[in-house]
Amino acid sequence: MKADFGVIGLAVMGQNLVLNVEDKGFSVAVFNRTAERTKEFVENRAQGKKIVPAYSLEEFVEALTRPRKILIMVKAGAPVDAVLEGLYPLLERGDLVIDGGNSHHDDTERRIKEAEERGFLYLGVGISGGEYGALRGPSIMAGGHREGYELVQGIFEAIAAKGPDGPCCAYFGPGSAGHYVKMVHNGIEYAIMETIVEAYDLMKRGLGMSPDEMAGVFGDWNRRELGGYLFEITERILHYKDPETGEPLVELILDTAKQKGTGKWSTQSALDLGTPVPTIAMAVFARIISAFKEERVVASKVLPGPDPALGTDREEFVRRLFGAVYLSVIAAYAQGLRQLRDASSERCYGLDLSEAARVWMAGCIIRSVLLVPIRKVLLDNPELPLLFLAEPFKSAWAEYHGDLRWVTARAHEHGIPTPAMDSALTFVDAFRTERLPANLIQAQRDFFGAHTYQRIDKEGTFHTDWEAVA
């Protein structure tokens, strides 16, 4: 039997995608560098299914119908290049290779050029939803050769999550557009997660609330305007009890968070573009600081600070905390979408941002009810510079910015760090300020480096001999 589709890499994500594709009526050839993994998968999960195991790349390629459609699901970086090195000599012109990992966009651009030189089609595809999403319906963000996407569009739309506006799958543009959209998705994910954990910290240390009590708060928010996957799982995590001790499991987990690189890449790219994404950046830095556990333990005994107990009415604080979290989450989406807009212009992607909002509505980690009004705003005004400038987000800012200011002020008074909320507030305050103090920065730069400046009262570029004036 010749298979319709091929998958290289049978870790859990790869296996679940194979099962998803097969379940939608397509036959799938599979290969893993370790033959034992392939054998185990076939014996335990692929019995009776239209799945063709292969134990060499040659056998794998031969098992596929032409033009071959091959999805690579291995770790980003050198492992992808290693697979391509072995695969390319076996392919024929017109075959399609798809990288479904979190590859860096520059790597994807390089690989697309190499594929073109060899006569192959290439897609860089971001797949979000984790192991469960891979099996039941992920969000799929594709970029690269459009004719390559057309070869697999039917398969992708069949396996993708189904949102209110159709399959959560789209072609975003040439080159690395798909991987770039997925990278920014992950940056937004970092920012929302950091906002959630700051709310958790304020309720835990500031208000002395138990995990079950906090779960109730997150559950309430999840049934309101903040409804979304990350709030849903937070409620479930806080309710979960450790089977061994009976204690809330979350309180037994070491407080050091890891990051795989996409949040960092998103921040680095934003700096290269000159796009402000402070909430995403601070979420990355918060994870980095969390990794300094031993140093933090020492510092906690050396550096004094105020009592974290907020000493305020719990009901009022939780009510106002909702507004602070709501605006911070909107800021995360606003910053990520602005980055996509700027990257599209810089990198000639031709992105449709309303499609990003649509594809993120189901299957992915940042899926949220907020994406429905976000998409409408972007459909009405594709060139909107910032979400907060349009309804309903303009009214949300007017209603809740006082709560965000109040919550962050209480946090600072009691020594509880809130970098995501702080940066969200500062970002919008800076964006809405007609005259910022950057005029003094320009004067300083001209003083020590003769970098020149512009004036508000006349045209031209100017330099002052500040030492002579002094």
Q: What is the CATH number of the domain that holds 219?
A: 1.10.1040.10
Helix (H) or strand (E) holding 142: strand 139-144
SS3 110: helix
**Closest among 66, 65, 67, 75 to 8, alpha carbons compared:** 75
- What angle, rounded to 10 degrees, do the helices at 105-118 and 177-201 form? 160
Phi, psi angle pair for 65, to nearest 5°? -70, 155
Q: What is the rounded CA–CA span in Å between residue 264 and residue 186?
A: 10
pLDDT of res. 470: 59
- Measured over the CA atoms of residue 59, residue 65, residue 69 and residue 73, the dihedral's sign is negative
Residue 456 structural domain: 438-469
Q: Read off the pLDDT of residues 344-394 as tens digits, 9 standing for 90 and up.
A: 999 999 999 999 999 999 999 999 999 999 999 999 999 999 999 999 999
What is residue 138's predicted lDDT score, i.e. its pLDDT? 98
**Candidate list 22, 189, 194, 198, residue with the active-site label:** 189
**Interior angle at CA 366, CA 363 and CA 367, nearest 5:** 50
pLDDT of residue 251: 97
Q: Are 151 and 170 in contact (CB under 8 A)?
A: no
Decide which of 122, 147, 175 is a domain's last residue.
175
CATH number at residue 443: 1.20.5.320
Rounded distance, CA 110 to CA 77, Å? Answer: 12
- Residues 376 and 451 grouped into a single domain: no
CA dihedral sign, ordered 237, 240, 244, 250: positive
**What is the C-alpha radius of gyration for the chain, rounded to an integer number of angstroms?**
25
Task: Measure the CA dihedral 235/237/240/244, to 10°.
Answer: -170
- Helical (H) or strand (E) element with 40: helix 35-44
220 plus 128 within the same structural domain: no
Q: Is the peptide bond before 392 cis (omega within 30 degrees of 0)?
A: yes
Structure tokens at 284: 């990355």
How far apart CA 372 and CA 165 sit, in angstroms, is 9
pLDDT score recorded for residue 77: 94
What's the CATH number where 105 sits? 3.40.50.720
Q: For tokens 């550096």, what's the residue?
A: 303
In terms of domains, do 374 and 282 share one?
yes
* Half-sphere exposure for 386 (CA within 13 Å, toward CB): 17
Neighbours of 446 (CB within 10 A): 17
Nearest to 31 by CA among 51, 1, 2: 51
Structural domain count of the chain: 3
Are 253 and 109 part of one and the same domain? no
| CA atoms of 158 and 168, how far apart (whole Å) | 10
Looking at the fold, whether 347 and 237 belong to one and the same domain comes out as yes
The continuous run of DSSP H or E covering 33 comes out as none
The tokens describing 96, both together, are: 């399609």
Q: Let me know whether 81 and 17 are in one domain.
A: yes
Shared domain for 156 and 242, answered yes or no, is no
Helices 262-273 and 177-201 cross at an angle (nearest 10°) of 110
Distance of CA 278 to the CA centre of its chain: 14
Tens digits of residue pLDDT in 42-78: 999 999 999 999 999 999 999 999 999 999 999 999 9
- The catalytically annotated residue of 69, 109, 182, 198 is 182
Same domain, 415 and 458: no
Are the C-beta atoms of 137 and 162 separated by less than 8 Å? Answer: yes
The packing angle between helices 211-222 and 177-201, to 10°, is 130
203 & 78 share domain: no
Task: Name residues whose C-beta falls within 8 Å of residue 62's C-beta, 6 or more positions apart in sequence.
Answer: none
224 and 107 in one domain?
no
Flag residues of the chain having pLDDT under 50: none
Specify the residue for token string 């036959």. Answer: 27
Q: Say yes or no: 341 and 208 in one domain.
A: yes
Q: Would you call 173 helix, strand, or coil by DSSP?
A: coil
Domain end position, chosen among 137, 153, 175: 175
Contact 344, 173 (CB under 8 A): yes
3-state secondary structure of 169: strand
189 catalytic? Reply is yes
Supply φ then ψ for residue 360, to 5 degrees.
-85, 0
Statement to judge: residues 460 and 358 lie in one domain: no
Q: Rounded to the nearest 5°, which phi and psi values hold at 347?
A: -105, 5
Helix (H, G, I), strand (E, B), or coil: what is residue 352?
Answer: coil
To which H or E segment does residue 178 belong? helix 177-201
